[in-house]
Amino acid sequence: MNKTISHIVHLNVDSDPKFISEEMLSEIENLVINLDIIIKKKEIIKIKRINPSTLIGDGNLLKIDQDIKKKKINLLVVNNNLTPAQQKNLENRLKIKVTDRTGIILEVFARRAKSNEGKMQVQLAELIYRKSRLVRAWTHLERQRGGTTFIGGPGELQIELDRRLIQEKILNIKKRLRKVKRRRHLQRNLRKNNKFKTAALIGYTNAGKTLLFNKLTKKKQSSRSRLFETLDTKISRVYLGANKYIGLIDTVGFINNIPTSLIESFKATLEEVNKADILLNIVDVNDLNANQKIKVTKSILIDTGVEKNKISEMLTIYNKIDIKGLKSSYEYKKNYISALTGEGIADLKRILKNSLI
Ligand SMILES: Nc1nc2c(ncn2[C@@H]2O[C@H](COP(=O)(O)OP(=O)(O)OP(=O)(O)O)[C@@H](O)[C@H]2O)c(=O)[nH]1
Ligand SMILES: [Mg+2]
């Protein structure tokens, strides 16, 4: 079977918010590797102005074209968002499949989705993406492996779904998701009757939310160094001492430039977050982009309809203090923990107890 061999480009536009480009490149690299795609070349291209028709300017495209031929590359990944026209122009020009950041993120989500609800939400996001762009879908011979429609495999067949059909499917999934929402609502009411307060772990993907959830609840949810390991929401009790409990919620992680179709579709999952009494923003303390990621997290919360005061009262928890041996510099700081070694967890429980009860 022919492999997908890719070239990854991250465009650093002068006017971009100041995310560190190298980190952004390694983030997309990580996602692409997770899709079993070979990376033959990766580069950061600095540009002053974007080219409206292809995003990437002529000079750079020429070089990319040469590489494609030399290295037998069959997929160009652009770590920015492309308009449908730009995507089409690039494909026509380079004669290979081109995908953007949204395409890659949707594909990763599709592979990770396990529960019915997760699958429905990802499917909805894909349909919204496809409908708004009317891009041609690439049927995937690897569908059985959980892949979907955004990256071409071998022998792929290009099809275009009728817009009406897409719309029908969208309505159908939305209806099914509304049922999930009603069920959640009932469950929440039950919890309320039990006088359970809830705290939601939120934040950038890979920050350590699930490991912390496991530590606090003694559960064994899958926590791995893979972006978007968690897609479904889980809730479990945590004992805080003195006969006090809270419900702790673990949920899907966030990412910069998250596709709007995903935010739209994950509203059922994220509702749990909206209704939580307190939000804990888990941040990897070693992350060079930590501050940018905190901003991203806040803006996604706003987009998903979380109340402003809940966001301003959100607690930021710095995780992974065990890495780099910086323990002593965090020793007396509040909100600094290691979900791995358990440092700071007792303090965190105290903070939760005080703020919730
Ligand atoms: N060294 C160290 N590693 C940690 C710590 N917390 C989490 N990790 C690791 O970081 C990786 C990501 O952890 P997860 O718990 O899956 O992260 P997450 O925030 O749930 O990620 P998503 O589900 O993708 O949103 C895993 O490999 C964890 O073992 C920590 O305190 N110290
Ligand atoms: Mg997780």
- For residue 344, give the 3-state DSSP assignment: coil
Query: Which of ligand 1's atoms lies nearest the C-alpha of 225?
Result: 27
Determine the structural domain holding residue 122 and report its residue range. 5-159
Do 237 and 344 fall within a single domain? yes
Do 120 and 238 fall within a single domain? no
Pocket test for ligand 1, best of 109, 201, 202, 211 (most atoms within 8 A of CB): 211
User: What is the percentage of the chain residues whose pLDDT exceeds 70?
Assistant: 86
* Inside any domain, residue 166: no
* Interatomic CA distance for residues 37 and 35, integer angstroms: 5
Tokens 């990580």 locate to: 30
Which of 159, 183, 218 delimits the end of a domain? 159
> Atom 24 of ligand 1 has which residue's CA nearest to it?
228
Do 345 and 281 fall within a single domain? yes
Q: 269-301 burial, b for 16+ CB within 10 Å, e for fewer?
A: bbbbbebbebbbbbbbbebebbebbbebbbebb
Query: Which of ligand 1's atoms lies nearest the C-alpha of 226?
Result: 24
210 Cβ closer than 6 Å to some ligand 1 atom: yes
Could you read off the pLDDT of 243-292 as tens digits, one per residue?
888 999 999 999 988 888 888 888 878 888 888 999 999 999 999 889 99
pLDDT value, residue 135: 44
Average model confidence (pLDDT) across the chain: 85
pLDDT range class, residue 16, cuts 50, 70, 90: low
Query: Which of ligand 1's atoms lies nearest the C-alpha of 228?
Result: 24
Ligand 1 mean position, distance from CA 283 (Å): 10
Do 142 and 230 fall within a single domain? no
**In sequence order, what are the residues at sequence separation of 6 or more whose Cβ sits closer than 8 angstroms to the Cβ of residue 291?**
none
CB-based contact 106:125 (threshold 8 Å): yes
Query: Which of ligand 1's atoms lies nearest the C-alpha of 223?
Result: 16
Structural domain tally of the chain? Answer: 2
Is pLDDT above 50 for 96?
Answer: yes
Do 106 and 9 fall within a single domain? yes
pLDDT value, residue 267: 82
* Inside any domain, residue 23: yes
214 Cβ closer than 6 Å to some ligand 1 atom: no
225 Cβ closer than 6 Å to some ligand 1 atom: yes
Q: Which of 312, 73, 122 is nearest to 231 (CA)?
A: 122
pLDDT value, residue 330: 63
Instruction: Please indicate whether residue 21 or residue 62 has the higher confidence score (pLDDT).
Output: 62
* Inside any domain, residue 183: no
Is pLDDT above 50 for 152?
Answer: no
pTM for the model stands at 0.87
How many Å is the Cα radius of gyration of the chain? 22
Is pLDDT above 50 for 300?
Answer: yes
Do 17 and 146 fall within a single domain? yes
Do 144 and 270 fall within a single domain? no
Do 351 and 206 fall within a single domain? yes
